[in-house]
Structure 1
């Protein structure tokens, strides 16, 4: 595809605007965190938590919550931090605002490269699909955040079951389709697949409100199973996840649930992970990537079975 100058300018403008948004958001986090040298030194490892979580999330499209929820629950259980389930959920939302948004910038920018068009769905198909899914998922997520209250114990329990079932489904579907050749990958979302995606969107929005993950995972899994390439499956899921956490984060900020110090140290790592994830995804290939993502999702759910909720 030959890009016209107006198209290149629009892409550059959107990337610049997104980067400015991230800079402003991080300045807001730093203002609230009020870090000092001792805090940075004693909690330096959080930077690598951000890198690991965002890399897994943006490479597979599964969302950073599949890493951040079990990790922060483990830290809480070990006594490193005193975090409620509301604090952990807020941290996952805010960190993903950085990691998933950076990942979305990288994935979406590369949609416009000529060599991408032969293996991915068209850019118009990409944006139309994302818009329709978000149109149903976002209102569901917001309604759940502001109007639905579920005991934190049951929220975490549901996330454990959700993670284990989803992870097993990813691994099984991957092994089942292990021998699918690249030339059979779909380059256009069919009307039937689109209808199913629109049915899944509210379910993902509901899950996102409760767990900070769910929407991207469901979309990525369905597209992988249906035979779409990494660029379509992971890229679309990452973009949708990015928009959902950016819109969902204010709920936790206004509720006063955000552990600002943790966000301030983890977010730069999430930016790094989001930036490098696409190259890792493409170098691993769809088969290894799906096994890695599915395995981690299932393992994180199993690990969480051993953690309690404050």
Structure 2
């Protein structure tokens, strides 16, 4: 038991915090009966998010739309849930990366770009999120609820098409190991724009980074891991605005979907290791495409 605690202290800390919040509720059992089903939504969203690089908002946003949540509540609640799921997934992928030398020495070189990707992308992604949140007057179009759902649908369709394309590009292509000057410039732009999109839709930056890295020929699993880690930092940076300014987080949903997302974030790596990257991407792309179509206003 002690060895398990020492190996995963942050995971246990998150669980203890969740348990304390749950037990502090006036009627925890009633709350569990009313909202416990959201745990499965959290697991599903986090598994897809952490095994593909796409944010959990791909699952949460259409569901919240069907429940009649306002735009602010949908985005804020999705951010809060992803703080659990993407954090759990990011820790899992980072531990995998640190252990590569002990388990899969042949992949060490293919993963050597991960720290640089994190250092470059995180600051500009946060800057993109905060730019949209703090200066909404420059992005007034995206404050309209209909525009949000339309934007989500169009973005999801484009994402799905991009993933289909990357699957075709994976064939017989040598693995790229190093970032060059072109990559640095592209990563800065992708991170800033992706951070802005994430502020509007609760997804974006992870998807753009993963697709870019795959197209450039980097290891597919590395691309997913980098996208998950970047998304984790981004949602933590973005949730501050919703906690302080909008206060639109729907906490009963977060309480149960969040713990589910943490479980899904841990399980996702095993899914990626079990299935081939090609089949996983094809399935995910088809599913995201259908979600994108369903989000369009017709």
Q: TM-score range by the shorter chain?
A: 0.7 to 0.9
Q: Deviations over 1:77-121 (max 9, x none)?
A: xxxxxx211111111100000000000000000101214453355
Distance 1:35 1:107 in 2: 36
Stretches of structure 2 that go unaligned for 5 or more consecutive residues are none
Equivalences, count: 286
Query: Is 1:279 the counterpart of 2:270 in the alignment?
Result: yes
Aligned match of 2:29? 37
C-alpha RMSD of the superposition: 2.4
Aligned match of 1:7? none
Paired residues of 2:56 and 2:78 also in contact (CA < 8 A) = yes
The offset of 1:70, in angstroms, is 1.1
2:151 equivalent among 146, 158, 163: 158
| Structure 1 residue matching 2:275: 3-state secondary structure | helix
Q: Deviations over 1:239-263 (max 9, x none)?
A: 0000000111121122210100000
Query: Under a length normalisation based on structure 1, what TM-score does the superposition of the two structures give?
Result: 0.84
Q: For the structure 1 residues 287 and 123, does the alpha-carbon distance in structure 2 shift closer, same or farther, using more than 3 Å as the test?
A: closer
1:118 equivalent among 106, 109, 112: 106
| Structure 2 residue matching 1:170: 3-state secondary structure | helix
Aligned match of 2:88? 102
Q: For the structure 1 residues 123 and 287, does the alpha-carbon distance in structure 2 shift closer, same or farther, using more than 3 Å as the test?
A: closer
Q: For the structure 1 residues 93 and 116, does the alpha-carbon distance in structure 2 shift closer, same or farther, using more than 3 Å as the test?
A: farther
| Structure 1 residue matching 2:106: 3-state secondary structure | coil
Paired residues of 1:112 and 1:123 also in contact (CA < 8 A) = no
2:75 equivalent among 89, 100, 103: 89
Paired residues of 2:154 and 2:296 also in contact (CA < 8 A) = no
Aligned match of 2:234? 244
Aligned match of 2:188? 198
Query: Is 1:296 the counterpart of 2:282 in the alignment?
Result: no
Paired residues of 2:194 and 2:204 also in contact (CA < 8 A) = yes
Aligned match of 2:256? 265
Q: For the structure 1 residues 178 and 111, does the alpha-carbon distance in structure 2 shift closer, same or farther, using more than 3 Å as the test?
A: closer
